[in-house]
């Protein structure tokens, strides 16, 4: 039987939106628990790859509760965080006063159709968002469109470890252990079983790198984290 929050067709966005509405209040807590706090380190790596600094104009798509947007802003960038879940954005806005200094604004919108002009940002990031889009290549096209020539695109998400044994162990963790967090904290195991379901329908780090090359990006690279269980893709928009 399929997962209640996954759909391969046009209804996907509605289901994903319902999922994040459901888990928003416990999202940050479960992130810490299921990753043993490591997602904080991976997001720091993302911000380093984004080379965020004062004067830079950054867009964080699928910003959720704001981790990456706040981190980019703390590094000095002016940041726009965009997400289609009002519930996740409400958590981000609630965190804003205690999230440190920096210039961040949060916008409601669809990552597949943003309201920004071409070449508007120096850097565009997406953390644990691309896998959730109904069309991941459409998401990359939109990231590429709004990045200025020479600007950076950085993507953090769950990956597919190349080592078969490690991949089986890791998928076992996602299949059996992670849904328990959903059941305990949100009364909904399917909301967290969705991670593995969505990952299985996502081409992960290698497919994302290929798509970035097909878009004509330069300096396309992949960093495997935890043996590829997580991955960072990065690229520059060709000048």
Ligand X SMILES: C[S@@+](CC[C@H](N)C(=O)[O-])C[C@H]1O[C@@H](n2cnc3c(N)ncnc32)[C@H](O)[C@@H]1O
Q: Of 85 and 233, which has the nearer Cβ to ligand X?
A: 85
Q: Of 138 and 172, which has the nearer Cβ to ligand X?
A: 138
Nearest distance, CB of residue 167 and ligand X, angstroms: 21
Cβ-closest position to ligand X: 64
Q: Of 8 and 165, which has the nearer Cβ to ligand X?
A: 8
100: burial class by Cβ within 10 Å (0-12, 13-18, 19+)? exposed
Nearest distance, CB of residue 58 and ligand X, angstroms: 13
The residues binding ligand X (CB under 6 A) are 13, 16, 20, 62-64, 67-68, 83-85, 88, 110-112, 127-129, 132-133
Q: Of 156 and 209, which has the nearer Cβ to ligand X?
A: 156
Asked if residues 105 and 127 have their Cβ atoms less than 8 Å apart, the reply is no
For 171-202, give the DSSP string.
Answer: HHIIIIIHHHHHHHHHS-HHHHHHHHHHHHTS
Round to whole Å and give the CA distance between 30 and 84: 20
- Other Cβ atoms closer than 10 A to 115: 10
Nearest distance, CB of residue 47 and ligand X, angstroms: 12
- Beta carbons within 8 Å of 228's beta carbon, 6+ residues apart: 159, 160, 161, 162, 163, 166, 167, 205
- Other Cβ atoms closer than 10 A to 216: 11
Nearest distance, CB of residue 144 and ligand X, angstroms: 16
Nearest distance, CB of residue 93 and ligand X, angstroms: 13
Q: Of 110 and 197, which has the nearer Cβ to ligand X?
A: 110
Asked if residues 137 and 203 have their Cβ atoms less than 8 Å apart, the reply is no
Q: Of 112 and 189, which has the nearer Cβ to ligand X?
A: 112
Nearest distance, CB of residue 74 and ligand X, angstroms: 15
């Amino acid at each position: 039987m399929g997962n209640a929050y996954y759909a391969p067709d046009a209804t996907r966005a509605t289901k994903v939106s319902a999922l994040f509405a459901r888990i928003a209040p416990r999202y940050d807590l479960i992130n810490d628990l299921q990753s043993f706090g490591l997602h904080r380190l991976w997001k720091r790596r993302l911000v380093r790859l984004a080379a965020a600094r004062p004067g830079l104009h950054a867009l964080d798509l699928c910003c959720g509760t704001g981790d990456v947007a706040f981190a980019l802003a703390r590094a000095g960038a002016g940041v726009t965080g965009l997400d289609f879940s009002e519930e996740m954005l409400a958590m981000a806005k609630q965190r804003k006063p205690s999230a440190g200094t920096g210039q961040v604004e949060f916008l409601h919108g669809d990552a597949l159709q943003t309201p920004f002009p071409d070449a508007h940002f120096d850097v565009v990031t997406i953390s644990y968002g691309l896998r959730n889009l109904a069309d991941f290549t459409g998401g990359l096209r939109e990231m590429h469109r709004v990045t200025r020539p020479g600007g950076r695109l950085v993507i953090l998400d769950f990956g597919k470890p190349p080592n078969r044994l490690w991949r089986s162990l890791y998928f076992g963790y996602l299949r059996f252990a992670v849904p328990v967090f959903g059941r305990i904290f949100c009364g909904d195991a399917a909301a967290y079983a969705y991670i593995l379901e969505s990952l299985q329908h996502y081409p992960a780090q290698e497919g994302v790198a290929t798509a970035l090359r097909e878009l004509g990006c330069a300096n396309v690279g992949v960093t495997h984290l935890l043996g590829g269980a997580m991955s960072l893709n990065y690229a520059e928009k060709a000048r």
